[in-house]
Amino acid sequence: MEDKELIPNLFRIEYRKIVSVLINLFGIKHIEIAEDIVSDTFLAATEVWSMKGIPENPTAWLYTVAKNKTKNYFKRTSLYEQKISPEIKYNSTVQTNEVKLDLSEKNIADSQLAMIFTICDPCNPSEAQIALALNLLCGFGTHEIADAFMTNKEVIYKRINRAKQKLKDKNIQINGPTIEQMKLRQENVLKTIYLLFSEGYYSSIENTVLRKDFCTEAMRLTYLLLENATTNLPNVNALMALMCFHTSRFDTRTNENGDIVLYQDQDEELWNQELVSRGAYYLGKASVGDTLSKYHLEAGIAYWHTQKKNTQDKWKNILELYNNLLVIDYSPIVALNRAFVISKIEGNKAGIIETEMLQLLDNHFYFSLLGNLHLDIDNQKALQYFEQAYALAHTDADKKIIKKYITNI
């Protein structure tokens, strides 16, 4: 990897580690101080490395500078003695007036885990939690987040700052997740990670089908949960299984031009069997106990999609999973997917009846499915449905594949 690629990647990875440790140490009220120290550390690295070159161990260099800047900052200001020092003494094991920045692997992991549960406090809406998670837990800048959501960085900047302020106003404490906290916040935590992964796997806003960096971060955060005994629960394992199964087909979902490759046209030889096996492992772990979450069911559906053969048993298993999913977490898209599965089992006419019952008139997937189901039954109707789907589609990738259907009729 060239320096111009290595440095931003290194900064993003180390930013999330150092800032989590600092915020965990000083508390959410002093989040800006933590961010300033990390920013100053990276500014120093940029200046020194541009003149002297990248050191042999750049991570160690960053940690040393971060520790020194933390110590120097509080030597220069009375804020430490007046406000932060008493809070640290009250909330942690630090008993001296000297700040000790523990950047050990264990403390980094513990700090990031504690930050996940802090960021996912229900005082903030989901979109704010995701933006804050991308910023603090994943190391993405406001410009990168704005690009991902096709908005300007001022909007993201305000969203992140409002989210921080709400956490401060509620005086949210940063602690490692307890069993009680897991009960209160695990749904929010898993939902935030799930939405982060979904935004990467298929974005309805960004004009790229896959955002692998978002998906990778979602899997990393889930792994942090799995590494902790308190948070290593069946639904967390189910979420990891779901993500493993989906990412196993990453390399076949788009072609060399970035166009969508439909499931039936994907080359299963290119599916990552190691990830399929890993997903099966986590799904097995998820089956312990009597927990049945939406993540269990979606993981099961994703598993069957790693089995390419179009057998009746496959589609019947998927249908049963969709039936259960509609009971515990109904959504129009799940119902639409179920209608497609019915067409695979009972034929296109049965699928058309199920689809039309949904009346999702503002959804391009609805019209696209009707178009597909009408092919070779009534091509004129199919064309009308594809034209309606094209008018409603948001992304260039979706429009391109719908246009191909229209052209071929």
Cβ-in-10-Å burial (0-12, 13-18, 19+) of 14 comes to buried
pLDDT at residue number 94? 43
What is the assigned CATH class of domain 325-409? mainly alpha
* Mean predicted confidence (pLDDT) in 172-187: 80
The answer to whether 114 and 185 have CB atoms below 8 angstroms apart is no
CA separation for the pair 25, 115 (Å, rounded): 11
pTM, two decimals, is: 0.86
* pLDDT confidence band for 90 (50 / 70 / 90): very low
Please calculate the CA angle 297-299-305 and round it to the nearest 5 degrees: 110
pLDDT at residue number 263? 85
Q: Where are the domains of the chain?
A: 1-103, 104-232, 244-308, 325-409
Tens digit of each residue's pLDDT (9 = 90 or more) over 279-298: 999 999 999 988 899 999 99
pLDDT at residue number 92? 47
pLDDT at residue number 82? 57
Tens digit of each residue's pLDDT (9 = 90 or more) over 219-260: 999 999 999 998 999 999 999 999 999 999 988 988 887 778
Contacts for 307-310: CB closer than 8 Å, 24+ residues apart: 308/266, 308/268, 310/344
On the question of pLDDT at 210 being above 70, the answer is no
pLDDT at residue number 2? 52
pLDDT at residue number 26? 85
On the question of pLDDT at 75 being above 50, the answer is yes
Tens digit of each residue's pLDDT (9 = 90 or more) over 102-145: 999 999 999 999 999 999 988 999 889 999 999 999 988 888 88
On the question of pLDDT at 16 being above 90, the answer is yes
The answer to whether 361 and 370 have CB atoms below 8 angstroms apart is no
| Lowest mean per-residue pLDDT among 100-104, 207-211, 217-221 | 207-211
On the question of pLDDT at 95 being above 50, the answer is no
pLDDT at residue number 189? 92
On the question of pLDDT at 331 being above 80, the answer is yes
pLDDT at residue number 85? 54
